[in-house]
Structure 1
């Protein structure tokens, strides 16, 4: 799994029974429509069973995107789940979280006419509400699939359908824009690959260190439009910015824990 942020500019949930398990269908609130028959979009199928770890990871990452913009692109491939947000949506940043499908799903099936890749757009706030609800209801089996629902005699719309079982059975639909075209998928892949740098280590910032770095970035914003960031295997982080007239501001952090540990072969 990985998460990348690249700066592009300075702007930068009916009751069926009263005993035992209850069943709730949450469609009208999320979709704003009455549920009708569902089918898979033409030429493509996606169905998976989430692992509990996978739901926890998504519930951690999605709020980051929700804070940055109102539109999140999801790219599914045979091996990886990518969450992507471009700089035009975020207001200056390009962000992507890349998760191996075996880390997110216990079962995973995908097929399409585009090399078995599927992409679509959704509102991160809606997805986050669904994920938070799944965790809150302590769901033990969570299925997700891509569907189309008829909205009248001549129109159907795509949804990401969540069906969870536990103390409460829940069915929810998240409205989608898409599926995206081959060209749009290629654009998402290009964005992800452009921001992947093969650095064999991570700096493990705790909350105190992260808050300190955030404060330093705010100070740098008052000086320059571009921030340069550098890290070292010894656990140092350097932030530098400048502007015309010879004004330069720099901050250095040392002793930050490095992962993986050297003895682990990192």
Structure 2
């Protein structure tokens, strides 16, 4: 089982400045899944507890001279502590910058190794960053779990395939900060959020307790997938009534999710996505958030990067 590659300058920037800070907010431990074409960071795909997040990169987006081999169709997966990974990368980058002309002037290598830790008789696996400075080489070892077995990798791949199911209707949320501010206020009210999404491009968010109801409505959002025109007779009705009628018509779905989970998914703004889409999967199985990234300086989607979250549903609601 071998993996070795050099991080590109773009790869360093993507991971150090954007994705690792975002993924760290999702949870301390995640799986890193490497295959011939992709590097994928996965949260909660095997235990199904909490927010699932999937950040996928084509190898060219992060690495050059990418080499991988294993007896399991060149697939390797292991669990890693995101904060340790981030710290080692940051430290390696600062050494590169100090002794070179830019983050990767001295080539930052990343590889899988087995080493004997101090006071141990058993070799342990590490993900190692190696930086060759002006007069020395600096090595940063990040401890990882024992690589997953063939059966576990298959289970991970199956969970990943299942997590690719797209909602039939997605609405674009233009301002994640506005949503973040609203959810920050809601945290003090209760723990459960009711969310409904309609084919008209409406997103309703509501939190209720016996004493107070707080809600927000985003209307006429960009719709991807199945869409419909809002009935004119609903125009002057309250947001709650419009939402209830849309659900009865089969033009909307509603689910209940944890405020904590919803807030966590919003932390993905640290990865600096260009836009975000929300949708509810068929039968209200989960709330899905898909983040899109554009090729710098354009409005073309960067297909080498993808990031999405799936929030577990506490009550399937209706629709």
CA contact 1:224–1:241 (8 Å) conserved in 2: no
Conservation of the 8 A alpha-carbon contact between 2:39 and 2:59: yes
Aligned residues: 218
Matched, 1:58 2:15: yes
Does residue 85 of structure 1 match 2:85?
no
Normalising by structure 2, we get a TM-score of 0.56
What residue ranges of structure 2 are gaps of 5+ in the alignment?
98-103, 223-273, 276-291, 303-319
Q: Does 1:228 align with 2:195?
A: yes
Cross-structure match for 1:185: 153
| Separation of aligned partners in 1, 2:88 and 2:124 | 19
Q: Secondary structure at the match of 2:110?
A: strand
Residues 182 and 219 of structure 1: CA distance in aligned 2, closer, same or farther (over 3 Å) = farther
Aligned residue number for residue 214 of structure 1? 180
CA gap 1:265/1:103 in 2 versus in 1, 3 angstroms:
closer
Indicate how the Cα distance of structure 1 residues 155 and 106 shifts in structure 2: closer, same or farther if over 3 A, else same: same
> Could you tell me which residue of structure 2 aligns to residue 240 of structure 1?
205
For structure 1, the 5+ residue unaligned runs are 1-43
1:117 aligned partner: 75
Distance 1:180 1:161 in 2: 18
Question: C-alpha offsets along residues 125-155 of structure 1, whole Å, 9 cap, x if unaligned?
Answer: 1100112123323242011111111347852
Q: Is the 8 A contact 1:220 1:240 kept in 2?
A: no
Report the counterpart of residue 122 of structure 2 in structure 1.
155
Q: 2:114 is paired with a residue of what secondary structure? A: strand
Whether contact under 8 Å (2:194, 2:205) holds in the other structure is yes
Q: Is the 8 A contact 2:29 2:43 kept in 1?
A: yes
CA gap 1:263/1:45 in 2 versus in 1, 3 angstroms: closer
CA contact (8 A) 2:171 2:221 kept: no
Using the alignment, how far apart are the partners of 1:178 and 1:252 within structure 2? Answer: 46
Q: How far is 1:51 from its partner? A: 0.9
Q: Distance in 1 between matches of 2:301 and 2:108?
A: 36
Tell whether the 8 Å contact from 2:29 to 2:81 is kept in structure 1 after alignment.
yes
RMSD of aligned alpha carbons: 4.0
| Bigger Cα displacement from structure 2, 114-123 vs 193-202 | 193-202
